[in-house]
Structure 1
Amino acid sequence: MTIGRPTDEAAQIDYLTEGAPTYLVKVPTQKRARDTFNRIVAAAVDLLLESGLACLNTNAVSERAGVNVASVYSYFRNKESILFFLAEFYENSRVALVAAGADRMLSAPEWASALAEIIDSLVVFRIEHPGCVVVRRAIESLPDSPDFDGASTQQAAEILTRAFSQLSRSVSPGQLQKIAHFYTDTVTATVDRAFSAEPHDSEAIEFLKEMSTAWLAIFLTSGTGPDLIHAQR
């Protein structure tokens, strides 16, 4: 696939689509309130993209969103809770994309095409949500912050382990879990690298799909996975 240039996150994105948010004072339910909430969150993302964590505060967010600062505090206690909400949204979205792809792996005639679609969907999400990386880095800079990235990677790997177990009868559950973790880590790292420079590296994404499919075919189709794992130790 061709990687487009990321754009600023737009206020029309609905940030309340993935799971029950943990870090809100309250959850908006009416359309007008949801629209205001989404403007606040999009404003925070834009500030992070433009100036980084140092310039993120509730006054700046309210000014950028065009709302009273009291509206910001009606949903968020402080700037950290805005960051935590965003991290939770991004990581829950990533897990949801992997889960949808895992379901397709089990129903599609060829699991490889569904696996490639997982990578494509993660790339599209990265393009549509350029704030996901800057939020992750901001979270990492805060002491004692939750490990959102680690938790979502664990969830994604568990989902893929269950899918892989339906596609292989010769690899043990423990080995499949290692394979799923390695695959998840590799996809995340490669997509990050592909977006780390301009222009974005479309060839790296295509190579990732080809090589990961060839590697997983060893375990999911030929039954030689256990011997290879022992040989690599």
Structure 2
Amino acid sequence: MPTPLPRKPRARPATAAPPDVAPKKAPTQPRAVETYERILAMAAELLGEVGIEQLSTNLICRRLAITPPALYQYFPNKYAILHELGQRLMQRQNELLEPWATPATMALPEARYAKSVAKLFLETLRLTEQMPAGVWVTRALRAVPSLKDVRIRSHDAVTDLLLQAFMAAHPNVDPARARVSIRLAIDAQYAALELLFDDPSQSPEAVAEVMAEMVAGELARLRRKY
């Protein structure tokens, strides 16, 4: 009986390189700045109309009555545009958070802290809904792999901000454990936002209350432990 020939290993499919999301150049002249901002504004408008998959640079150009080379001066593809929109959204959300993230806030009793978290969450919800395509940009930051760095960098920066305030109020807590708890609390708040965007039948106030009580309870347990 002939010896069977060894099977050749199957070739693995080539992994596509992630799209370039870095803007090509920052505009400096007033007219160039205007074109840059018009591209972003139209992309946000179209994102709300057609969604992430159907959005394209050609569609943006047609709506703005500009040539593709005029757009490609600033953005190599639609993902670079979404990247910039995502950075702007996260920056606005973080600006809302900064005056709240103080040692005095972190020292509040559990019930008062929970109410404070819920209030901040509802303010963040309103801001996101009011920003052009804020809901869709939030979805894109979660759904598009090439945009995850925007979300991760922003969440890491917020974690550092909150951790500093928390440790100033509770210096005996283990910083490593506090960082994990705060990082998970941030993700819980964004998961609550996405829940409301995906299921409008949910009550924003109820979602805010439950999420805030979960976050406050975890940090209160951490404070008691140390």
Q: Give the TM-score, by structure 1 length.
A: 0.70
Select the structure of larger CA radius of gyration. Answer: 2
1:77 paired with 2:80, answer: no
CA-to-aligned-CA distance 1:31-83 (integer Å, 9 cap, x gap): 54433322211211222222123322222112223444343222212222212
Q: 1:187 offset after TM fit, Å?
A: 1.1
Report the aligned-residue RMSD: 3.1
Q: Which runs of 5+ in 1 are unaligned?
A: 1-21, 227-233
Residue 58 (structure 1) aligns with: 57
Residue 3 (structure 2) aligns with: none
Secondary structure at the residue paired with 1:189? helix
Q: Distance in 2 between matches of 1:138 and 1:218?
A: 34
Q: Distance in 2 between matches of 1:44 and 1:211?
A: 36
Q: Distance in 2 between matches of 1:78 and 1:215?
A: 42
Residue 121 (structure 1) aligns with: 123
Secondary structure at the residue paired with 1:26? coil
Q: 1:138 offset after TM fit, Å?
A: 4.0
Residue 36 (structure 2) aligns with: 37
Q: Map 1:96-135 to 2 at 5 A.
A: 96-102=95-101, 105-106=102-103, 111=108, 112=113, 115-129=117-131, 131-135=133-137
Residue 224 (structure 1) aligns with: 224
Secondary structure at the residue paired with 1:101? coil
Q: How many residues align?
A: 200
Question: Are 2:45 and 2:132, in contact at CA under 8 Å, matched by a contact in 1?
Answer: no
Q: Map 1:1-233 to 2 at 5 A.
A: 23-102=22-101, 105-106=102-103, 111=108, 112=113, 115-129=117-131, 131-138=133-140, 142=144, 146-199=148-201, 201-202=203-204, 203-219=206-222, 223-226=223-226
Q: Distance in 1 between matches of 2:145 and 2:167?
A: 38
Secondary structure at the residue paired with 2:61? helix
Question: Are 2:23 and 2:74, in contact at CA under 8 Å, matched by a contact in 1?
Answer: yes
Residue 17 (structure 2) aligns with: none
Question: Are 1:136 and 1:149, in contact at CA under 8 Å, matched by a contact in 2?
Answer: no
Paired-residue identity, %: 25
Q: 1:215 offset after TM fit, Å?
A: 4.4
Q: Give the TM-score, by structure 2 length.
A: 0.71
Q: Which runs of 5+ in 2 are unaligned?
A: 1-20
